[in-house]
Structure formats: C-alpha cells, structure tokens
Amino acid sequence: MTLKTRFMRVNPEAPEEDTIRKAARVLRRGGLVAFPTETVYGLGADALNAEAVQAIFVAKGRPLDNPIIVHVAGVEELKLTTDDITTEQEALADKFWPGPLTMIFKKSARLPAAVTAGRNTVAVRMPRNEVALALIKAAGNPVAAPSANLSGRPSPTAAEHVFEDLNGRIQLILDGGPVEVGLESTVLDTSRRPPVILRPGAITREELEILIGPVAMGGKGQQLARSPGTRHRHYSPRARVILAAENDVSAISHLVEQHRQGGRKMGVILHNPMPIEDEPMVRVRILPNELDQLARQLFAAMRELDQMDVEVMIIEKTREEGIGAAVMDRLTRAASS
C-alpha cells in the first residue's frame, strides 16, 4: 500500500490559509494528515469518520485495542465528542487549554467505536499550536490523532521524523517546524477520586493540584487497566536502552567500557559534562541540562542514534522535578521494552 505522501511547509505562527484549506480537504475526504502540535506531531483523521480512523491504525501498525486522542479547537468540537462535561473538567479546560492536557470524558454516541477502541470513554485535548487549531477549525470536525510515528517508535518532534516513519503510508505531512514541548501530553482521568494521571507530561501533578486538589499518579497496574496505550511497547528506540544514575561518571564510564569490550556500537545520551569521547563506536550526544530543553530534544537524539545503528543506548537519568517526571516515565518505558 504505497501512497504518494505530500509534504507541505506551513508558517507555524500564521498558517497559510490555502495550505490549511488543502489539508482540511484531505481530512474531509477521509485521508490522513500529519500536523504539528505543541507536544509532538499528530497523525490526524476526521474523528467522526470510522473508516478514516481505521486507516490510522493501519498506517501506524497500531494495536487495535489502543484508543486515540481526539483533538478539538474549542467547546464546539468538544461537544461533538461528549455530552457530559463536569464542572471540574470545565475548570481544567479553562486553565490548561489550549495546552498539553488530555482529559477522559464519557464518549458521545456520535463518535465511532474505532476512535475509543470500543470503550465508553474518550480522551480529548485542545492543542496549543496555530497550525493544529486552524486545521481542526477548517476540517469542521474533531480530529482523531495519535502521535505520528510507527507504533512503538519514539514520537516525532519534527516533520522529518514523520517522513522517516510514514512516507508512503499517509496522504499529507504539514511541516510546521520543530515542536515546543517534545513529549506527549499529560493524560488525566477525573472520573475517580482522587483524579489519576494516566500518563505524565508537561502539565505537572503540582500544577493540577493547585486547581483541583489531590491528584494521584497512576501506578503500573492502573495504567494497564485504564490507559491501554501505556501497556504496549512505546517511546522506544530500536537499540536496547540502559539507564544510568544522573551524574554518575564512574557507572557510566564502566558501562561504556563493558560494551566496548563486547564490540558493540553504542549511543550515549548525557546532560552532564563527562569525560566520554564521541568516537565511531561510542556516539555521544549531550542534551541541555535544563529539563524543558532536554525534553524537547530527547526523542530526536534517540532517533539520530538509531539512524547510526547503535546496538545499545546508555542514557543518563534526570531528576523528577517539573517535566522531569515525564522524561523519566518515557525513559523507564524505553528501557523496559
């Protein structure tokens, strides 16, 4: 199934109307359009078109039991996805939308079952990205969009990553430049007391608690049952990932030596200065120490090292403050798959 994938640049601050109109037409005809959001690139389909949504699963090789996040540009589209918005959810949307917060709602009968993988709930968010918002408005319907990567690979933080994974599998890629956050949205389930974070992201537990009081972090078991996507192999490079304690120069040097002796080509991703040289068998990438910037560049570094065919990736852990909790969540998943 080879499609001709079009690639169109779009101004991220002031998206060209003509480009958006073309992309919206692809969606309305049931096609797939990859587009930038503030978190990662999404692979969009008309959320009310069951066949179009099914095409997402095929293009990504996504397990059919993994439900998809629906993207809205405002309350109008939100009301096409759910008939049941609580006052707490209204307050959260007021404060954090547009932005990297996904909330779980009771699903409206209008939404095809494919979007929610047969569940009676739907995950919805309003992205903070002019291209995404313009596209959703022009399409006139909510847009179902998982991250625009092949299933199991790190999420795309630039249009080139989407091309690498999905060229020939989708109709159109909108290139709005590199993303702002670099990790997927926070997924919050407010149907339980206290509300539960099913997937940590840029909106932190602390920020949520200021508005709505105590919030729980989904344990492994909860994530398994409530957010099926977190069960699948996810966010991971092809290479085997080994995590090392932050700033532990001797542990990291030891790991490098051990794999050097095994003759294995390796990648090393650090954010603290260490005396480890970049050389043909040891490709070293230094990320910024500042956590927001580190988060923005992490997936790109994983992809770059994968392209170099490293067998092992040794990655320095981060502290868990702010977006660091989400970084560590993704690293832990990558290391365990």
Please report, as ranges, the residues that interact with ligand TXA according to CB under 6 A.
37, 39-40, 42, 66-69, 100, 102, 104, 116, 119, 121-123, 127, 145-147, 184-185, 187, 198-199, 226-230
| Closest residue to bound Mg ion by CB | 147
CB of 90 to ligand TXA, least distance (A): 19
CB of 141 to Mg ion, least distance (A): 21
Residue-wise DSSP of 5-45? -EEEE--SSS--HHHHHHHHHHHHTT--EEE--SSS-EEEE
State the DSSP H helix or E strand holding residue 75, giving kind and residue range, or none if neither.
helix 75-81
Question: Could you tell which of Mg ion, ligand TXA, none binds residue 187, using a CB distance below 5 to 8 A set by kind?
Answer: ligand TXA
- CB contact burial 40-66 (16+ within 10 A = b; e otherwise): bbbbbbbbbbbebbbbbbebbebeeeb
Of the candidate spans 19-27, 58-66, 142-150, 220-228, the one that interacts with Mg ion by CB under 5 A turns out to be: 142-150
CB of 186 to ligand TXA, least distance (A): 8
CB of 32 to ligand TXA, least distance (A): 13
Decide if residue 141 touches Mg ion (CB under 5 A). no
Q: Which of 39, 89, 147, 171 binds Mg ion (CB under 5 A)?
A: 147
CB of 146 to ligand TXA, least distance (A): 3
Q: What burial class does residue 87 get, using C-beta atoms within 10 Å of its C-beta: 0-12 exposed, 13-18 middle, 19+ buried?
A: exposed
Decide if residue 230 touches Mg ion (CB under 5 A). no
Q: Which residues pair with residue 46 across a beta bridge?
A: 143
* Nearest CA-CA partner of 186 in 57, 17, 84, 325: 325
Helices 17-28 and 130-139 meet at what angle, rounded to 10?
50
Question: Could you tell which of Mg ion, ligand TXA, none binds residue 228, using a CB distance below 5 to 8 A set by kind?
Answer: ligand TXA
Residues engaged in binding Mg ion (CB under 5 A): 147
